[in-house]
Structure 1
């Protein structure tokens, strides 16, 4: 029975999610390495035609732009909260960050390829104010806002459950690993809408839909359009490599972020009784971030979709959370480091 339980019923082979954790981590990092090699290969083909200094500058710009975008608050919140939910279900996902980033990157890569191939209709998708751009922005914003709202509420329920357990521990209640799994009305209700998100690979679709707002694709596509229109001598191969460099930088940082938060949450499961405070704080912080971003995102969607002019949704539509992800990462590290110092002090 145990052997059959590890088989994928659709194909009769072991599922990727049943591979050893170290193997899954190596596969995740290997996929990121392959993406870097593809980008370098395309750039190498383009460099054969000259303009190497200019090409290097473009490559570095695109790569760093991808790295920067990986620290947008919606990326951090989606990866962090998804990982928290998987860990709460007793799973040990290794590729949440990669799956989300690859889905997001596929929009960038597809747009970049179409631009290089001369598909002029792409400009209607990336030009702000056009009907196509507005429609895709509404779709992407709605999906990201609703998902962050649902998973934020789910993790908020888990945070409340951990807080109640912490109070019971003070009264002498013995806490086991099973007690940390999300329970309560909120978690049960939110689990149903999130039922389709059962594996890290399901996050790929979410990442793709998140990217339909063309916030990332516009960055790279407009750069490619500018280069292809104004700079003579830059080969098509070099232009084609730019979206891949953007995606490589974003996937690397998102993958590392996913593995880092996985370790953070797994550490709360090794000693449930002593780490309930940490589990409560880190889960509450992540849930609050997801709910905060969902309100801003959905407010902006409502403002755009219905042409509202009220001060609240107008303000929400103009909020830029591009650099706020770094604040969230810093807050998570402060909580993690603080509890580590307290634990070390108690052992001394």
Structure 2
């Protein structure tokens, strides 16, 4: 008896998640293909296979850099607020970022000796551009989410006090015609589709300024100067990109699942927005602010107690990604528990009321 019932449910589950399943299968195939290429290219050279593993680990590690996690999770939350299921945000972000990494390694392989004299200046200019773009984007997203947070809190407080709320009021948070909505509309439009993250990911990678990227470029340059064929050296960035894309895509799928629980019921949507948007705002302001202050400190050669702390925090940003994933997952779990404990499901259903003034 369970079998006939479970089969339609299973089919419905597969149909509902066809896109992320297809993406993850594609990425798994890409990862296997990259490793097959490495095994063929470096057959009989265990040392080079060890270097290939290092490049792959660099990619896995780079995917949890703080700017990656903050950008992906904030954009997922923003697009979910607009009624979309942005399962591909992490995928497209990593595709854009990977394109830049592969292009950079290709340039290094072609002109290793010429770049050796100029790599420091190139890295300095690129690092400044990349950090500036990253900080501006994260701070813009933080302001956008702060506007959503204030509006959500006002509406949730009204519902908790016995008032009703129409679904249209939730839409007003991103598409309203009030003063704040008009003021911040360009920010809301910054990213409106998952694929918009591809060019943004490309721009994020302009600096080659994180430890993992610098490590990858050093590996590629070293082996290119040793006379290894360019086709073999290009295995390293492909492995890096494959590992990074897998983790970034899993991150966005995970966050869509968490947000999806919240958006089934409009009251639950309000409550969850209060908790998760607060976390998003704090993280985006924190990471973006640290990057902006760090850029200022480097360009103006600022020293002293406060600026030394800023520099130290910038150097430690590479380790924040793991913590941020845990914070988002914990916030989702705590939000669900508090929601049930407080009995907010018993509040008047928002769809029963008219839009609030």
Q: TM-score, normalised by structure 1?
A: 0.82
Q: Deviation of residue 59 (structure 1)?
A: 2.1
Q: What is the rounded CA distance, in whole Å, between the counterparts of 2:215 and 2:252 in structure 1?
A: 24
Q: Spell out, residue by residue over 1:288-310, the C-alpha distance to the aligned partner (whole angstroms, 9 max, x if none).
A: 10111111111122223344446
Q: Pairwise mapping of residues 125-144 of structure 1 onto structure 2 (< 5 A)?
A: 127=119, 130-144=120-134
Q: In the alignment, does 2:42 pair up with 1:47?
A: yes
Q: Spell out, residue by residue over 1:178-230, the C-alpha distance to the aligned partner (whole angstroms, 9 max, x if none).
A: 33332565554233145242211111111111111102532211122234456
Q: Deviation of residue 317 (structure 1)?
A: 3.7
Q: Label 1:21 to 1:191 Cα distance change in 2 as closer, same or farther (>3 A).
A: farther
Q: Pairwise mapping of residues 202-241 of structure 1 onto structure 2 (< 5 A)?
A: 202-214=196-208, 215=210, 216-229=212-225, 236-241=230-235
Q: What is the rounded CA distance, in whole Å, between the counterparts of 2:88 and 2:298 in structure 1?
A: 34
Q: Deviation of residue 170 (structure 1)?
A: 1.3
Q: Spell out, residue by residue over 1:79-106, the C-alpha distance to the aligned partner (whole angstroms, 9 max, x if none).
A: 0111111111121112100111111122
Provide the residue aligned with 2:276 in structure 1.
Answer: 282
Q: What is the rounded CA distance, in whole Å, between the counterparts of 1:105 and 1:334 in structure 2?
A: 29
Q: TM-score, normalised by structure 2?
A: 0.80
Q: Spell out, residue by residue over 1:274-321, the C-alpha distance to the aligned partner (whole angstroms, 9 max, x if none).
A: 453322111110111011111111112222334444654454244221
Q: What is the rounded CA distance, in whole Å, between the counterparts of 1:30 and 1:315 in structure 2?
A: 43
Q: What is the rounded CA distance, in whole Å, between the counterparts of 2:289 and 2:135 in structure 1?
A: 7
3-state secondary structure, aligned to 1:197: coil
Provide the residue aligned with 1:36 in structure 2.
Answer: 31
* Larger gyration radius, structure 1 or structure 2: 2
Q: Pairwise mapping of residues 4-43 of structure 1 onto structure 2 (< 5 A)?
A: 22-43=17-38
Provide the residue aligned with 1:340 in structure 2.
Answer: 336
Output the aligned Cα RMSD: 2.6
Q: In the alignment, does 2:298 pair up with 1:300?
A: no
Q: What is the rounded CA distance, in whole Å, between the counterparts of 1:238 and 1:60 in structure 2?
A: 14
Q: In the alignment, does 2:93 pair up with 1:100?
A: yes
Structure 1 gaps of 5+ residues are 1-19
Q: What is the rounded CA distance, in whole Å, between the counterparts of 1:207 and 1:168 in structure 2?
A: 39
Provide the residue aligned with 1:88 in structure 2.
Answer: 81
Q: Is the 8 A contact 1:66 1:249 kept in 2?
A: yes
3-state secondary structure, aligned to 1:29: helix
Between stretches 195-204 and 26-35, larger displacement belongs to 26-35
Instruction: Count the aligned residue pairs.
Output: 321
Provide the residue aligned with 1:4 in structure 2.
Answer: none
**Pairing partner for 1:115 from 108, 119, 127:** 108
Provide the residue aligned with 1:330 in structure 2.
Answer: 326
Q: In the alignment, does 2:140 pair up with 1:150?
A: yes
Q: What is the rounded CA distance, in whole Å, between the counterparts of 1:305 and 1:122 in structure 2?
A: 23
Provide the residue aligned with 1:321 in structure 2.
Answer: 317
Q: What is the rounded CA distance, in whole Å, between the counterparts of 1:124 and 1:202 in structure 2?
A: 36
Between stretches 70-79 and 168-177, larger displacement belongs to 168-177
Q: In the alignment, does 2:173 pair up with 1:171?
A: no
3-state secondary structure, aligned to 1:120: helix
3-state secondary structure, aligned to 2:263: helix
Q: Deviation of residue 342 (structure 1)?
A: 4.5
Q: What is the rounded CA distance, in whole Å, between the counterparts of 1:165 and 1:135 in structure 2?
A: 46
Q: In the alignment, does 2:258 pair up with 1:268?
A: no
